[in-house]
Amino acid sequence: MKKLQKQDPQIYSTIKKEIKRQNEELELIASENYVSPAVLEAMGTVLTNKYSEGKAGHRYYGGNQIIDEMEFLAIERLKKIFGAEHANVQPLSGSPANAAVYMAFIKPGDKVLGLKLDHGGHLSHGHPVNFSGMLYNFVQYGVNEKTGRIDMEEVRRIAKKEKPKMIVAGYSAYSREIDWKGFKKIADEVDAYSFADIAHTAGLIAAGLMENPVPYFDVVSTTTHKTLRGPRGAVIMCKEKFAKQIDRAVFPGMQGGPHNHINAAKAVAFGEILKPSFKKYATQVIKNAKAMADEFIKLGYKIVSGGTDNHLFILNLGAKGIGGREAEQILEQIGISVSRSTIPNDPNPPMNPSGIRIGTPAATTRNMKEKEMRKIAKLIDEAFRNKADKKVLARIKKEVKNLCLKFPVPAK
């Protein structure tokens, strides 16, 4: 970054500080990860200079032959990973991808069935403060109060009563396997479109470790920067019969020119996913989440649904007398990032909910394993128990830093 350092020392210095933070601190935010040096390199290329409105092979600007070659590669790799009939790799991020999906299939005012946000859903699945909740008439299902899991009979009952045009499955804070076939069956019974947002678990699905909705569902979206370990962005996959309406919704419906440097980086990440080493990584992500959840249970903590099948879990801190926001702030003091999270039917508001969400994709990219996960759970517990003791927190912070330095993040 010599040129950047010389030309813009202020921005250079913020980047250097963030590099140091990422190296010395522990990332347990379930939606974050560290990309490989190759993905990072592809992002910082001159492909950013090119306008390419339209699809690969059908552009509204000249000079796109090479960009076409890159985009076709990204599409082919993505289709191969998930067995998709059609793929669009241009969505800029998760919410714009979901906006394009709604635009492609339904009209403003149409009814859609999605999971409640405080039960693990996503803002773009119909929350009133989001475009989805403003434009479309969302009705919502929740998880079962006792099991913390989605109850398919309850989904069926609501679907039959409400007759939505579309059913959305796939969540941001749900730690269990999803019955995609069951959802598709219900969607068929009420003549609704089936839409899966697999942003969180896409990498685990890609590795063949969780069920894949792509063969069943009408349309599937995912971000590319979470368990897929690619650049920030998103993609949409669908049945061939919906290809035209999805492509038109992405452009010109939602977006202008695609971000070609990012799409090249998506292709690089897809290439990595197609290698056997990715399955090994994804297998360890799940093992790590299970080990850490198990350690928290041993330490007397409650976990929503009692455990995890994927890369994340929600710690319910209600009984510990610590709010989600407070927990986030205590952990920041010891160099650990997590995100506060609601628990199902949370009595507290989203700004200070009753839980935190913990995820293992990033720590696993650093090569941490079950032993480190159990140690981290113990350090978190110690920090919570000594939240007012600055000396103890400072000592734990040092331990976290030493652990992180033993497991470096991928670097150029």
In the complex with ligand DSN, the residue whose CB is nearer, 43 or 234, is 234
In the complex with ligand DSN, the residue whose CB is nearer, 159 or 358, is 358
In the complex with ligand DSN, the residue whose CB is nearer, 31 or 354, is 31
Residues counted in the chain:
412
State the minimum distance, in angstroms, from the CB of residue 37 to ligand DSN. 24
In the complex with ligand DSN, the residue whose CB is nearer, 59 or 122, is 122
Nearest Cα to Cα of residue 236 among 312, 184, 245: 245
In the complex with ligand DSN, the residue whose CB is nearer, 54 or 231, is 231
358 Ramachandran zone, left/alpha/beta (phi>0; psi -120 to 50): beta
In the complex with ligand DSN, the residue whose CB is nearer, 123 or 152, is 123
State the minimum distance, in angstroms, from the CB of residue 219 to ligand DSN. 18
111 burial via Cβ count (<10 Å: 0-12, 13-18, 19+) = middle
In the complex with ligand DSN, the residue whose CB is nearer, 159 or 210, is 210
What residues line the site for ligand DSN (CB under 6 A)? Answer: 31, 94, 122, 172, 339
Nearest Cα to Cα of residue 56 among 104, 13, 88, 91: 88
SS3 state of residue 39:
helix
Place of tokens 């390199």: 41
300 Ramachandran zone, left/alpha/beta (phi>0; psi -120 to 50): left
Residue nearest to ligand DSN (CB): 31
State the minimum distance, in angstroms, from the CB of residue 339 to ligand DSN. 6
Edge-to-edge order in the sheet of strand 339-341 = 302-303, 312-316, 355-359, 339-341
State the minimum distance, in angstroms, from the CB of residue 242 to ligand DSN. 23
State the minimum distance, in angstroms, from the CB of residue 321 to ligand DSN. 25
Q: Are 141 and 150 in contact (CB under 8 A)?
A: yes
Q: Are 210 and 16 in contact (CB under 8 A)?
A: no
Task: Point out the residues that are catalytic.
Answer: 51, 53, 197, 223, 226, 232
> What is the secondary structure of 358-372 as a DSSP string?
EE-HHHHHTT--HHH
Q: How far apart are CA 142 and CA 345, in angstroms?
A: 9
Q: In sequence order, what are the beta bridge partners of 55?
A: 58
Q: How far apart are CA 84 and CA 213, in angstroms?
A: 10
- Across 80-160, the runs of DSSP E, i.e. the strands, are 86-88, 111-115, 137-141
SS3 state of residue 23:
helix
State the minimum distance, in angstroms, from the CB of residue 200 to ligand DSN. 6
State the minimum distance, in angstroms, from the CB of residue 254 to ligand DSN. 17
In the complex with ligand DSN, the residue whose CB is nearer, 339 or 360, is 339
CA distances from 29 to 222, 288, 351 (A): 17, 14, 17
State the minimum distance, in angstroms, from the CB of residue 314 to ligand DSN. 12
Please state at what angle helix 390-406 crosses helix 9-24, rounded to 10 degrees.
Answer: 90
What's the angle, vertex CA 348, arms to CA 296 and CA 344, rounded to 5? 60
